[in-house]
Amino acid sequence: MKDIAEQLKTARLAIAIELEEAASDLDTDVANLKAIEAGKKDTFKDLLEYKEAIRSYAKYLSLDVDKIIDEFNEFMFDMTSKIPVEAIKQAAAEKKAPRIRSPYTMMKTKQTKLLPILVYLGIFILFIIIIYLVITSLNTDPNLTYIGGLYEFTN
Protein backbone atom coordinates (compact mmCIF):
# COMPACT_ATOMS: atom_id res chain seq x y z
CA MET A 1 0.00 0.00 0.00
CA LYS A 2 2.93 2.28 0.70
CA ASP A 3 4.03 1.88 -2.94
CA ILE A 4 0.71 3.19 -4.22
CA ALA A 5 0.73 6.01 -1.68
CA GLU A 6 4.26 7.00 -2.72
CA GLN A 7 3.35 6.90 -6.43
CA LEU A 8 0.40 9.21 -5.85
CA LYS A 9 2.35 11.66 -3.70
CA THR A 10 5.32 11.70 -6.09
CA ALA A 11 3.02 12.33 -9.06
CA ARG A 12 1.29 15.20 -7.26
CA LEU A 13 4.58 16.82 -6.27
CA ALA A 14 6.01 16.33 -9.78
CA ILE A 15 3.24 18.47 -11.28
CA ALA A 16 3.39 20.94 -8.37
CA ILE A 17 -0.18 20.66 -7.19
CA GLU A 18 -0.96 21.45 -3.55
CA LEU A 19 -3.17 19.12 -1.54
CA GLU A 20 -5.75 21.88 -1.08
CA GLU A 21 -6.03 22.42 -4.85
CA ALA A 22 -6.34 18.68 -5.54
CA ALA A 23 -8.95 18.32 -2.80
CA SER A 24 -10.93 21.20 -4.25
CA ASP A 25 -10.75 19.75 -7.78
CA LEU A 26 -11.77 16.29 -6.57
CA ASP A 27 -14.47 17.67 -4.26
CA THR A 28 -13.06 15.89 -1.22
CA ASP A 29 -11.35 16.74 2.05
CA VAL A 30 -7.63 17.43 2.33
CA ALA A 31 -7.61 14.86 5.15
CA ASN A 32 -8.75 12.16 2.70
CA LEU A 33 -5.92 12.94 0.28
CA LYS A 34 -3.41 13.00 3.13
CA ALA A 35 -4.68 9.60 4.25
CA ILE A 36 -4.36 8.22 0.72
CA GLU A 37 -0.82 9.54 0.39
CA ALA A 38 0.03 8.05 3.79
CA GLY A 39 -1.54 4.69 2.92
CA LYS A 40 -4.05 4.90 5.78
CA LYS A 41 -7.13 2.95 4.78
CA ASP A 42 -8.73 3.28 8.23
CA THR A 43 -9.70 6.88 7.46
CA PHE A 44 -12.36 5.63 5.04
CA LYS A 45 -15.58 3.91 6.06
CA ASP A 46 -14.87 0.83 3.91
CA LEU A 47 -12.43 -0.55 1.37
CA LEU A 48 -14.66 0.23 -1.60
CA GLU A 49 -14.74 3.90 -0.72
CA TYR A 50 -10.97 3.82 -0.26
CA LYS A 51 -10.49 2.09 -3.62
CA GLU A 52 -12.70 4.61 -5.42
CA ALA A 53 -10.85 7.50 -3.80
CA ILE A 54 -7.54 6.04 -4.99
CA ARG A 55 -9.01 5.55 -8.48
CA SER A 56 -10.20 9.16 -8.66
CA TYR A 57 -6.94 10.53 -7.33
CA ALA A 58 -4.84 8.44 -9.75
CA LYS A 59 -7.02 9.55 -12.68
CA TYR A 60 -6.75 13.18 -11.55
CA LEU A 61 -2.96 12.86 -11.46
CA SER A 62 -2.94 11.26 -14.96
CA LEU A 63 -1.48 7.99 -13.72
CA ASP A 64 -2.18 4.54 -15.14
CA VAL A 65 -5.42 3.90 -13.22
CA ASP A 66 -5.65 0.22 -14.20
CA LYS A 67 -2.12 -0.44 -12.94
CA ILE A 68 -2.76 1.37 -9.65
CA ILE A 69 -6.04 -0.51 -9.07
CA ASP A 70 -4.39 -3.84 -9.94
CA GLU A 71 -1.71 -3.13 -7.33
CA PHE A 72 -4.41 -2.20 -4.83
CA ASN A 73 -6.35 -5.42 -5.56
CA GLU A 74 -3.21 -7.53 -5.15
CA PHE A 75 -2.44 -5.83 -1.85
CA MET A 76 -5.97 -6.38 -0.58
CA PHE A 77 -5.96 -10.02 -1.69
CA ASP A 78 -2.68 -10.65 0.10
CA MET A 79 -3.94 -8.85 3.19
CA THR A 80 -7.31 -10.60 3.38
CA SER A 81 -6.52 -14.09 2.11
CA LYS A 82 -6.14 -16.37 5.11
CA ILE A 83 -5.72 -19.66 3.24
CA PRO A 84 -2.72 -20.07 0.93
CA VAL A 85 -3.56 -21.24 -2.57
CA GLU A 86 -1.25 -24.24 -2.14
CA ALA A 87 -3.27 -25.43 0.88
CA ILE A 88 -6.49 -25.16 -1.10
CA LYS A 89 -5.05 -27.18 -4.00
CA GLN A 90 -3.67 -29.83 -1.63
CA ALA A 91 -6.99 -30.16 0.21
CA ALA A 92 -8.85 -30.48 -3.07
CA ALA A 93 -6.49 -33.26 -4.15
CA GLU A 94 -7.13 -35.23 -0.95
CA LYS A 95 -10.66 -36.63 -0.94
CA LYS A 96 -10.74 -37.27 2.81
CA ALA A 97 -9.77 -33.73 3.72
CA PRO A 98 -12.54 -31.31 4.71
CA ARG A 99 -13.43 -28.71 2.12
CA ILE A 100 -11.56 -25.47 2.56
CA ARG A 101 -13.41 -22.42 1.36
CA SER A 102 -12.59 -18.78 1.16
CA PRO A 103 -14.52 -15.96 -0.54
CA TYR A 104 -12.10 -16.25 -3.46
CA THR A 105 -12.46 -20.01 -4.02
CA MET A 106 -16.13 -20.67 -3.35
CA MET A 107 -17.76 -22.65 -6.12
CA LYS A 108 -21.24 -21.88 -7.33
CA THR A 109 -23.78 -24.47 -6.32
CA LYS A 110 -26.09 -25.98 -8.89
CA GLN A 111 -29.54 -24.46 -8.70
CA THR A 112 -32.39 -26.89 -8.17
CA LYS A 113 -35.10 -27.08 -10.82
CA LEU A 114 -37.74 -28.49 -8.51
CA LEU A 115 -39.91 -25.36 -8.42
CA PRO A 116 -40.53 -25.16 -12.18
CA ILE A 117 -41.34 -28.88 -12.24
CA LEU A 118 -43.88 -28.44 -9.44
CA VAL A 119 -45.46 -25.48 -11.25
CA TYR A 120 -45.85 -27.46 -14.47
CA LEU A 121 -47.23 -30.43 -12.55
CA GLY A 122 -49.77 -28.18 -10.83
CA ILE A 123 -50.87 -26.67 -14.16
CA PHE A 124 -51.24 -30.16 -15.64
CA ILE A 125 -53.37 -31.36 -12.71
CA LEU A 126 -55.53 -28.23 -12.91
CA PHE A 127 -56.02 -28.83 -16.65
CA ILE A 128 -57.14 -32.44 -15.99
CA ILE A 129 -59.61 -31.25 -13.32
CA ILE A 130 -61.09 -28.65 -15.68
CA ILE A 131 -61.53 -31.23 -18.44
CA TYR A 132 -63.20 -33.62 -15.97
CA LEU A 133 -65.60 -30.92 -14.77
CA VAL A 134 -66.52 -29.92 -18.32
CA ILE A 135 -67.20 -33.53 -19.33
CA THR A 136 -69.28 -34.24 -16.23
CA SER A 137 -71.30 -31.06 -16.72
CA LEU A 138 -71.96 -32.04 -20.33
CA ASN A 139 -73.19 -35.46 -19.25
CA THR A 140 -75.63 -34.00 -16.70
CA ASP A 141 -77.17 -31.29 -18.90
CA PRO A 142 -80.67 -32.51 -19.93
CA ASN A 143 -80.65 -30.40 -23.10
CA LEU A 144 -77.55 -32.14 -24.51
CA THR A 145 -77.72 -35.39 -26.43
CA TYR A 146 -74.73 -37.40 -27.49
CA ILE A 147 -75.12 -38.22 -31.18
CA GLY A 148 -72.38 -39.71 -33.33
CA GLY A 149 -69.48 -38.60 -31.14
CA LEU A 150 -70.76 -35.03 -30.69
CA TYR A 151 -72.99 -33.33 -28.16
CA GLU A 152 -75.97 -31.52 -29.60
CA PHE A 153 -78.57 -29.33 -27.92
CA THR A 154 -82.08 -30.68 -28.01
CA ASN A 155 -85.24 -28.92 -26.92
Residue type for position 27: D
pLDDT in tens, 39-83: 888 888 888 888 999 999 999 999 999 999 988 888 887 766 666
Residue ranges, comma separated, of all CATH 1.10.260.40 domains in the chain are: 2-80
Assigned CATH for 2-80: 1.10.260.40
Q: Is the pLDDT of residue 29 over 60?
A: yes
From residue 20, alpha-carbon distances to 1, 29, 59, 81, 151 in Å are: 23, 8, 17, 36, 91
Q: Is the pLDDT of residue 109 over 70?
A: no
| Single pTM value for the model | 0.52
